[in-house]
Amino acid sequence: MGGSFLAPLPNPPEPLPMVPGPKLAPFTRTAHAAIEFIEELGNPNQDMDGLVWKVKIGGKEPYYALKMFLFTSTEYLMKDLGIDLIWRLASAQLYSDYFDPFHCECRVYGRLKQEGREDLAARAHGYLFLTPQQAAEVEERSGRPKFSQEEYEQDGTDFWGRDTEHRHLSVRAIVKELVSADDPFTPEDVPQIWNDFEDLHKLGILVRDINTFNYMGGKIIDFSRAWTTPHPFPAGMDDYTIKRALKSEPLKLQKAFIEWGLSRDWDWDIIPEEMLQCTRGLGQDGPYGTNPSFYDWWKWEKDPDAAEAFMNCIWEDGGNEPHSEG
């Protein structure tokens, strides 16, 4: 199930990632496009997983937000993003498929399209691969720190985080709706945001990275750390870690509301009672709300038997090899 290096990109391009579960289709037939880079959005010193630019594609409006993803090493995926797994996954490719920020977003947006619930987030239209020329233009115009070729060679990675295992891969991007609102949310948005959040859980999506920077205009815009069923979570985690992951969701969202609200002198009667119940472990659909792992993902699989066989084989040595720092 894969080797030590990540698999090459499919040609012709297919929906990604290439494992059972939801996938995101390419934005164009070739997954390439003529892109006019207008301006960088967000905070290049704060956005850890990628760069976001306002762009025009194919020489015509509308404008889009193009999120271009940095590469992450298998070691980082294993020791940081996948550290809570009890057992190791069977290959480096599986860590990419389930924990790489680009694939995390592809899986979420694929699920929202499956369910006809793209209203739950800023919409994604498909993925693209950047040409070397496009990647070089973004690098040259980016607000991120520049390094000399000597520094790159010393560090072992380039501007996009490519190291040996990624040298053959193009920069990956997702074409998203351009949200123009300045504020992440207003007091009036709060009840709907909580309802949307619980709906994401009901669709098998554990959001995980929740803060004011990942919202605009009352809609979530970032899923780069999300886990979407089917996923090694929760089969590869102990009960304590699962409970901690579920508990953190409403707590993080409440914290985001409070931090932003304090800076804007909000009226504090806005926090929905249902959300307060979840933060106390009293949710109606479980101690901390709906458990995303209960989502029935099998209904979308054309070959459920093959999907089940694949999921049963994702663990190294059949799930008998403990995950460790070594």
Q: Please write the tens of the pLDDT for every residue from 248-295.
A: 999 999 999 999 999 999 988 889 999 999 999 998 888 888 999 999
Using 50, 70 and 90 to split pLDDT, how confident is the model at 157? confident
- Phi-psi region at 31: left, alpha or beta (left = phi > 0; alpha = psi -120 to 50): left
Q: Cα separation of 166 and 182, whole Å?
A: 35
Cα first-last separation, the chain: 21
Indicate the pTM of the whole model. 0.92
Q: Cα separation of 130 and 170, whole Å?
A: 6
Determine which of 59-68, 143-152, 176-185, 303-312 has the lowest per-residue pLDDT on average: 143-152
List phi, psi (to 5°) of 189: -80, -20
Q: Cα separation of 96 and 93, whole Å?
A: 5
Using 50, 70 and 90 to split pLDDT, how confident is the model at 4? very low
Q: What is the pLDDT of residue 67?
A: 97
Mean pLDDT of 70-85: 93
Tell me the one-letter amino acid at 204. G
Q: Mean pLDDT over all residues of the chain?
A: 90
- For the chain, give the percent of residues with pLDDT over 70: 91
3-class SS shares of the chain: helix, strand, coil, % to 5: 40, 15, 45
Tokens 């479980």 sit at which residue?
Answer: 286
Of 213 and 152, which is predicted with more confidence? 213
Q: Strand, coil or helix: what is 112?
A: helix
Tokens 């093959």 sit at which residue?
Answer: 306
Query: Quick one: which of 211, 171, 156 has its CA closest to 50?
Result: 171
Residue 3 has pLDDT above 50, yes or no: no
Of 155 and 122, which is predicted with more confidence? 122
Task: Compute and round to an integer the Cα radius of gyration of the chain.
Answer: 20
Indicate the helix (H) or strand (E) that contains 194: helix 190-202
Tokens 């990956």 sit at which residue?
Answer: 172
* Cβ atoms 223, 207 nearer than 8 A: yes
Q: Which residues contact 11 (CB under 8 A, 6 or more apart)?
A: none
Using 50, 70 and 90 to split pLDDT, how confident is the model at 322? low
Query: Quick one: which of 106, 98, 101 has its CA closest to 174?
Result: 106
Residue 177 has pLDDT above 70, yes or no: yes
Residue 121 has pLDDT above 80, yes or no: yes
